[in-house]
Amino acid sequence: IAFHYETDLPSDSVMNEKARWNVMMCIKETATNIVRHSRAANVWMQISFSMGYISIRISDDGVGFDTERVRVGGGLTHIRERMTEIGGTAGIGSQQEVGTNILLVIPA
């Protein structure tokens, strides 16, 4: 899987330890899901900073899934819970045969 990365995050931006841990675990869960389920050829991660928030978007060009039919279980639920715990949000979208997008938004 080819990995593409871009950021405009200032080099002096800092997250507290709890936020950093939760974000890292969300990225790890997303990567695990991509490797196990997506059959993607490409993954993109974009990190940006705007108006006091850090946004992390992870997208793939894999098989996707029907968000209405798939059981959103442990991993995706844990991503949402981890973001809520640090005052952030997680958006999860997917379209069959197009890919999946995860958006994490964290207060800076």
Residues 79/29, Cβ–Cβ less than 8 Å: yes
Does 75 or 91 have the greater pLDDT score?
Answer: 91
- Is residue 34's pLDDT more than 80? yes
Between the alpha carbon of residue 35 and those of residues 5, 29, 57, 61, the distances in Å are: 17, 10, 17, 12
Range 87-104 average pLDDT: 95
- Provide the pLDDT for residue 73: 64
pTM of the model: 0.91
